[in-house]
Amino acid sequence: MSSASTVLQFHDVSVIRDGNTILDSVSWKVDSDERWVVLGPNGAGKTTLLQIAAAAMHPTSGTAEVLQEALGKVDVFELRPMIGFASTAMARRIPRDETVLDVVLTAAYSVTGRWNEEYESIDTRRAERVLKEWGLEGFAGRRFGSLSDGEQKRVQIARSVMTDPELLLLDEPAASLDLGAREELVGLLGGYAASASSPAIVMVTHHVEEIPSGFTHALLLADGGIVASGPLDEALTSETLTETFGMTIELTERDNRFAARAAA
């Protein structure tokens, strides 16, 4: 028997902005032992979906439960510390001159930028452990702005797991990385995803090559609607990618890693 609990439950979630339907009746359930990848063309609604999962936005209609609390009925400030979230938009808010240790440490207080908090040594020890887990040993004293893109991405993820969240949301964590940095990050994410003590993960990406081994489910979105949703081997196929992207795509898989290209 699985002891998994439900971390996200969307019923007919729609988001309408300026008369545009950005999400269209999305019903979706994520359990604590699942690691999801969300794929879809530019403008499909992926980031909007993640914003709702992060309790940062409410649906226009339908209901969204995050960590078993219904959005609109719960104090989101109580919910958010239980949700780890890494995105480029959040990274832009990190002061360039902040030390790596402080970038990670301040997550414990839901702030960016170190102010006057008294940090407990237990938090410092945890931050150092998290940095080590994400291959950032020796970086604690470096200024965030002096790191490479790949190192900065790993710091963002380390920050997002600092609070030991029950749900981890990653918006394009491998975007703009070179091949080596991408493979390093995908390897670390795969190791993290495979650990039984890891939280549920939802990762938005543009490239199937960025899906770490250990991910279990896929959600394919196009024009705000679900094209496919479920276990990876059912939801992520040449056929579902072809429908999602409106062109004939051939998907290949080897050793739990994927590659995709337009069919010849």
Ligand X SMILES: Nc1ncnc2c1ncn2[C@@H]1O[C@H](COP(=O)(O)OP(=O)(O)OP(=O)(O)O)[C@@H](O)[C@H]1O
Q: Rounded to the nearest whole angstrom, what is the least distance from the CB of residue 141 to ligand X in the complex?
A: 34
CA angle 169, 170, 171 (to 5 degrees): 120
Q: Is 22 in the site for ligand X (CB under 6 A)?
A: yes
DSSP class of residue 23 equals E
Contact pattern from residue 27 through residue 56 relative to ligand X, giving x for each residue in contact according to CB under 6 A and a dash for the rest: -------------x-xxxxxxx--------
Q: Give φ, ψ of 27 to 5 degrees.
A: -115, 130
CA distance 232 to 227: 13
Residues 45-104 that bind ligand X (CB under 6 A): 45-48
- 247 burial level (CB within 10 Å; 0-12, 13-18, 19+): exposed
Give 199 or 224: the residue with its C-beta nearer to ligand X: 224
DSSP class of residue 211 equals P
Q: Rounded to the nearest whole angstrom, what is the least distance from the CB of residue 172 to ligand X in the complex?
A: 7
With a CB cutoff of 8 Å and minimum separation 6, the contacts of 129 are none
Q: Rounded to the nearest whole angstrom, what is the least distance from the CB of residue 253 to ligand X in the complex?
A: 23
Give 20 or 197: the residue with its C-beta nearer to ligand X: 20
CA atoms within 13 A on the CB side of 29: 6
Q: Rounded to the nearest whole angstrom, what is the least distance from the CB of residue 250 to ligand X in the complex?
A: 22
DSSP class of residue 172 equals S
With a CB cutoff of 8 Å and minimum separation 6, the contacts of 95 are 112, 113, 144
Give 22 or 158: the residue with its C-beta nearer to ligand X: 22
Only segment of 12-20, 54-62, 122-130, 227-235 that touches ligand X (CB under 6 A): 12-20
Give 136 or 219: the residue with its C-beta nearer to ligand X: 219
Number of residues that bind ligand X (CB under 6 A): 12
CA distances from 155 to 100, 149, 173 (A): 7, 10, 11
Give 106 or 229: the residue with its C-beta nearer to ligand X: 229
Give 40 or 212: the residue with its C-beta nearer to ligand X: 40
Q: Rounded to the nearest whole angstrom, what is the least distance from the CB of residue 173 to ligand X in the complex?
A: 13
Q: Rounded to the nearest whole angstrom, what is the least distance from the CB of residue 195 to ligand X in the complex?
A: 28
Are 208 and 260 a contacting pair, CB within 8 Å?
yes
Give 59 or 198: the residue with its C-beta nearer to ligand X: 59
Contacts to ligand X by CB under 6 A: 17-18, 20, 22, 40, 42-48
